[in-house]
Amino acid sequence: MRPSSVLAVLALGAASTLHAETVERMVLSRGGVVLEVSAPASGIVRIRMGRGKLPEDASWAVPAARRSARLPLKVTRRGEQVLLRTANIAARIDLRTLRTDVLDGGGRLLLADLAGRAALSPDGGFRMRGRMGGDDHVFGLGDKTGTFDRKGGAYTMWNTDTYKFTQATDPLYKTVPFFLAVSDRGQAHGLFLDNTWRTTFDFGKTERGVLSISGEGGPVDYYVMAGPAPKDVLQQYARLTGSAPLMPQWALGFQQSKWSYKTDAEVRAIARRLRSERLPSDVIYMDIDYQDRSRPFTVNRQAFPHVRRLADDLRTQGIRLVLITDPHIANAPGQGYAAYDSGAAQDLFLKLPGGRYYSGDVWPGAAVFPDFSRAQARRWWGELHAGFVSDGVAGFWNDMNEPSIFNAPGKTMPLEVVHRIESDDFAPRSTSHAEMHNVYGQLNSRATYEGLLRLQPDVRPFVLTRATYAGGQRYAATWTGDNVSSWQHLKMGMQQLVNLGLSGFSYAGNDIGGYAGERPSPELLTRWFQLGAFMPLFRAHAETGRADQEPWVGVAAQVEIRRRFISERYRLMPYLYAAAEENSRSGIPLLRPVFLNFPSVLAHGDRLGGSEDQFMIGGDLLLAPSPMLESPGDYNVELPGKGWYDYWTGRRLDGKGLVVKPDIAQLPVYVRPGAIIPRQPLVQSTAFIPEGRLELHVYPGAGCQGDIYADDGVSLAYQRGGFLRQRIRCEQTPSGLKLLFEQREGSWRPWWNGMALYVHGWDAEAAPQAYAAGGALATSVDREQNAAVILAPDLAGGVVEIDRQRAVDPQGPPQPPASAL
């Protein structure tokens, strides 16, 4: 059934009445201001305001199909208020002022008095003010510095090249105008302002208890997400702006980079050293020095005579090549520079108001810039990658795309530079850089991503971008930019990555060891590799002119620690890959604050219940580095509940809290009781097929379950059923444990020839008896892992029963119980 009226419009006055009980959207007008409320999905309301008319219904972040979807709104009039209700969310509007409260499905106030006609200024800007919840904590806004909890801070959305940024630097490289608010009770809501102009978010810094959102121009167009759990908000935000596509599996491997490896011989030497040192790795990056005079889409043939041969030889070693392709095209007419000539022939570069190309100094000197707001320019940009793709280059790195300009005010191009919007469902028009600046990096990475898909339609693209806008997670991974080799940056970087994950950008990392500044101490470099081994994007990178800081640098003891943690990441690859696949479906990030999995910890108060210092990988692994990473002092770890396990020993912990003594060779990692974690034999690259059994590490506890996910790791066949997905559950029985292997989905055939089931927390000398449908299984005890080990065939379904009460008869396997036959 259609609603009785799909649109209700009120020109408000004393005699106004509503003529519909249910509408698809509500448009209200008062004092020359128009307000629209709609509900694009369950738990989400969209609010738009304009002076005289509504702003254009177009977006670089939210695809048209998601914006145009509308759930019916039930309308109730109460005096001078209108209440609009839909699934799990409501909006209450004051008809005199157009001030709008947003409530959840149960009537709980989420945002109070945020919008009203007074928010719009005559000069085209806006300022919305509203009351904040007293016990709310605020997260998101991308990789801002400052405190982990954004409350009490003020932040500017303006993409900026910020070399050697500090704890107080703002703005940074990205604009993600989305925040997640979570109360001490674990109830959450979110807000996304879809506006690409320079905006500010003030969370009670200027006015205590007041949220203020202002902008210099552009639309008042925002979405409120009702949660109620933090994960619900992230899924609602992903429903609007999209989740990251499943990256190629090699993008989860270790990646080695530097500005720059300057010759073919040097790149080959790096690859040889990685393999001779037994340091698992998947990627080597080439920075601007591979280019001819730093010109994008060229190659210095003296230093790199055969890119195809280099890429092919690296692939035989399980290493892929990623090249930088910055958006500044050398302003070189008449010089035979193909990228300039082809772009100029199609008139694709940005211009000044008088019609001349805008030219700014970057790495190649004077440069022009593609107008990525035009679909034609994005297609041309994508085609520029054809030669590199045919040479076997696996991925591309879009840097300097804020856009960054040398020796220019604000390090970017003038605001009067003219863009021609010809794309998506925008009305064709010209606009200024003031509108397009914050989305330039996103559109640059979009052009690269879409171009690679056209060039290789069944290969997953890999794009890394420095600058971006909300929704850019659909096109590229990212990193936190030009950080510094310091303990402060290591700690701050982890919090930046967590907030990026809470802002939609799950595939993110920071430069291992630090990009700039003084050479890291051996201990700092080692600790960064340890923590980096659990980052979604694991890339070491440093600027030119610094001492080497590759993982093999330094004394043997430090190198061995780094090797051990890089290797552990590769053993954990099945777990990490399953978390990545979950992110592609749900938007739930790989790297998570503890409160995302356990919202109740926020009620503990102190350091956000540990979430300020601890973080989780997926749903099951919790890392607890020292709150002061450089300090040798003992520190307390509080875990969310009892029964957790030590990841390294498999030992079950007695209580919720423990005291940790820092050790450079160790990093505290704990496993959720009830987890089942897949691991694999060590390989030196994801390109190499592991040999032997898939390990399933079982940590008995409440809600015991885990997932296996696998596919070919590189193609889009998983979208056509070419994958393997299986859930495993475990249940306590009177005599032991039962593992239930659900039937598999998908057609992908596994590499493993059997399974090794590790049941942790085992404190008996003898192994338990274990049975599958075929009879008794071989069992043993691994003392180092505090685990009973059961060797099983590859179980595409069925049950394994583990009898704790009966020891294995050394003279021969006993008859299985009737329930196992």
Active site residues: 399, 402, 482
**H helical segments located in 61-205:** 64-68
Is 23:3 a contact under the CB 8 Å cutoff?
yes
Give the count of beta carbons closer than 10 Å to the beta carbon of residue 523: 15
Is 781:808 a contact under the CB 8 Å cutoff?
no
Distance CA 756, CA 490 (A): 36
CA 660 from centre of chain: 30
CA 768 from centre of chain: 42
Is 216:197 a contact under the CB 8 Å cutoff?
yes
Q: What angle do CA 222, 224, 228 make, to 5 degrees?
A: 165
Give the count of beta carbons closer than 10 Å to the beta carbon of residue 727: 16
Is 516:484 a contact under the CB 8 Å cutoff?
yes
Q: Which residues pair with 578 in a beta bridge?
A: none
For residue 141, give the nearest of 177, 172, 174 by alpha carbon.
Answer: 177
Q: At residue 390, what are phi and psi to the nearest 5 degrees?
A: -65, -25
Q: Report the 3 state secondary structure along 450-495.
A: HHHHHHCCCECCCEEECCEECCHHHCCEEECCCCECCHHHHHHHHH
Is 414:380 a contact under the CB 8 Å cutoff?
no
Q: How far is CA 820 from CA 122, 733, 773, 779, in A?
A: 77, 13, 6, 16
- Element counts in the chain: helices (H) and strands (E): 13, 51
Q: Which residues pair with 182 in a beta bridge?
A: 137, 188
Kind plus residue range of the DSSP H or E element containing 103: strand 100-104
Distance CA 18, CA 494 (A): 52
Distance CA 229, CA 610 (A): 19
